[in-house]
Amino acid sequence: MMKEIDELVKDINLAEEVMELSGENPYDCYQCGTCSASCPFIEEMDLKPDEVIRYVVLNRKEVLKSKTIWICASCFECAERCPRDINITKLMEALRQIILRKNVDYTEIEKIGEEEKRTIPQIAFVSLFRKNVG
């Protein structure tokens, strides 16, 4: 499955895709870390929100395999505090869209490990499944 997503996205430019889907410009980010400091789910994430943006700018496709983009609960805390006025919430959504539009689904309950089920907050699951069916 991972190889498959690598293959599917190998020709895209992440920053351009994200800009097209979200209208947000990841190049505006100056890596201050405020988004990560404001995120209530940071402990559950494997990449911090500011790292997600950095990966997008660098076109590092492994960001699409990150748990972070699915754990993001679309709470807008980061977006409200970003000094560069980047809506990180929309940017995360754009990354999920890139995957979903390729018909690669990482959000089925049976694919989530037991350890993750124990540690990921309930609200993150609710948000994830809402996004998945919405």
Q: At 112, which amino acid appears?
A: I
Distances (CA, A) of 107 to 5, 27, 104: 14, 29, 9
Q: How far is the CB of 129 from ligand SF4 (least distance, A)?
A: 15
In the complex with ligand SF4, the residue whose CB is nearer, 35 or 63, is: 35
| Site for ligand SF4, rule CB under 6 A | 29-35, 38-39, 41, 49-50, 53, 72-78, 82-84, 86, 88-89, 92
Element spanning 120, H or E: none
**Which residue number, 8 or 59, has a Cβ lying nearer to ligand SF4?**
59
Q: Which is nearer to ligand SF4, 12 or 121 (CB)?
A: 121
Return the number of other C-beta atoms located less than 10 Å from residue 3's C-beta. Answer: 7
Q: What tokens does 95 get?
A: 């990354």
Q: How far is the CB of 19 from ligand SF4 (least distance, A)?
A: 14
